[in-house]
Amino acid sequence: DVQLQESGPGLVKPSQSLSLTCSVTGYSITSGYYWNWIRQFPGNKLEWMGYISYDGSNNYNPSLKNRISITRDTSKNQFFLKLNSVTTEDTATYYCARGENYWGQGTLVTVSA
């Protein structure tokens, strides 16, 4: 069965970078699908952030402008989120997902000094 697991720091200081890892088991990230990052803000609004495709191409939400980067390590079957210049507005639960139907359990990231 496909499983995704997010990991990374739970606390990030303003102006620094947020970096998260999504570890995937049960399916190769090079075999198919778009591998997404989605976040859920306090108050429960959901925002699609972007994806890295099975072929390595990217698509990002324009609202994140040039702050976001999604990369991967195919040897470890992992993909990564990096969000630069974070503010308190980036406090959210971050999810990785394969397409729309397999999600990780989410990881809460708080941006605070």
Partner 1 sequence: QIVLTQSPAIMSASPGEKVTITCSASSSVSYMHWFQQKPGTSPKLWIYSTSNLASGVPARFSGSGSGTSYSLTISRMEAEDAATYYCQQRSSYPRTFGGGTKLEIK
Residues that bind partner 1 in the complex, under the rule CB under 8 A: 44-48, 59, 61-63, 95, 100-101, 103-106
Q: Which amino acid is at 26?
A: G
Closest contact distance (angstroms) between CB of 84 and partner 1 is: 18
CA distances in angstroms from 86 to 46, 69, 112, 113, listed in the order given: 18, 13, 10, 11
3-state secondary structure 24-48: EECCCCCCCCEEEEEEECCCCCEEE
Q: Which amino acid is at 30?
A: T
Give the residue with the Cβ less far from partner 1, 55 or 75.
55
**Distance, CA of 108 to CA of 100 (rounded, Å):** 20
Closest contact distance (angstroms) between CB of 37 and partner 1 is: 11
Give the residue with the Cβ less far from partner 1, 45 or 75.
45
Closest contact distance (angstroms) between CB of 60 and partner 1 is: 8
Give the residue with the Cβ less far from partner 1, 35 or 95.
95
